[in-house]
Amino acid sequence: MIIIHVDMDAFFAAVEIRDDPSLRGKPLIIGSLPNECGVVATCSYEARKYGVHSAMNIKDAYRLCPNGIYMHPHMDKYKAVSDALHVIWNSYATALESVAYDEAYLDVTERAKNFDGAREIAYEIKRRTREELGLSCSVGVAYSKSAAKTASEEKKPNGYFEILTPEAFVSLMRDRDVRALYTVGEKTAEKLHRSGIRTVRDIQERREEVVMLLGKQGQWLASLAFGIDDRPVTPYRPEDAKSIGREVTFQKDVDNYSLLKDILLLLSLSVDRRAKRVGLHGRGVSLKITYADMKSITRSQLVFSTDSPLEVYRTAARLLDNVEHRPARLIGVSIYNLSAEREPQISIDELIEEKTHRSENELSALLSSLGARYGLDFAGNLDKLFKADTLHKTIEYMRRHS
């Protein structure tokens, strides 16, 4: 295999700096604002010099970087740029596995033929990204997915690196901390450190102990420590998803559960649209709540079908009625047990049509009532509403006016 891993440099921040050059060279933090609840989505490299990083609590980021420029993300804009990036990436790959808006694995084995060809493709991707989109990326070329990801991180930002053999991977990684290995997070690293296993070399030399300590994950890490990774690049298929969901984090905690139920209606509509867009429906509905103390709970219920957004909403609302009512920081809805849509049997067409008509009328009535409560007009505006930025702004407006 010949794998390329592409990782955009500080993606959200880079897009904002591209569109507003006055932000260049300044510590830019994308995410929540300092007076809100939330975390850092990403930040510029200037902000990282202060110790700010992705997923950091926004209060901690402000403490480290009080003079930073704080900004809400513009997800619709980032999605449009991501779509343009995928056009570039897909022109070189026989298989593409997206990790996020700004990161992907490309199998270029057939197109590149050899590593010299892969090197040419990598630099072509960097050139097109800069010239067509005004952004920089870091690219790794390697014999495997984990080695390619390691390579792309080696020279960030705007870097290029290659790891062409398992021996080269082992030579590079042998004396690094176990955290340098793909999939080793903080908790796994702590468990290994407590056992005196601190470096990749330690994993190599104490393989059996690592397997006993971590089980199946330990087997994976023991193989990876020797550069072994034969996972293929696997394109995402909607039908492979375990669930489809939508959630929102509030800028300030919410203790009004009537408001939360109203928000569930919009989230349920959004989830339904996402599912129908890829031809899926579910047999279960899940409700997720994160409370002000950061404790998260999930409640789920099986249903006959989630073909109707009204069914998703009703189920989520019932689940909400039966949880502890205390200030919430996040609420989300998802559907699971997914399967492809099936055409209804001809013999019950009229019954389904009548039921659908009733559901649509009830849904219209709920939206009209919702709009009246908050002074909003949902008629004809649902397509625009369900764009990420607009939905979040609408929900925040509802929160402020509840």
What is the 3-class SS of 53-68, one letter each residue? CCCCEHHHHHHHCCCC
CA distances from 369 to 71, 75, 257, 266, 382 (A): 33, 28, 17, 13, 15
Angle between helices 75-90 and 11-19 (to 10 degrees): 100
Using alpha carbons, select from 322, 329, 318, 321 the residue that is nearest to residue 254. 329
Cα–chain center distance at 113? 32
Q: Could you confirm whether 154 is annotated as catalytic?
A: no
Catalytic residue among 103, 132, 162, 353: 103
d(CA 384, CA 368): 17
SS3 content of the chain, % helix, strand, coil (to 5): 50, 20, 30
Q: Would you state the structure tokens that stand for residue 311, as one six-digit string? A: 């069914």
Cα–chain center distance at 372? 34
Cα–chain center distance at 69? 23
Catalytic residues: 103
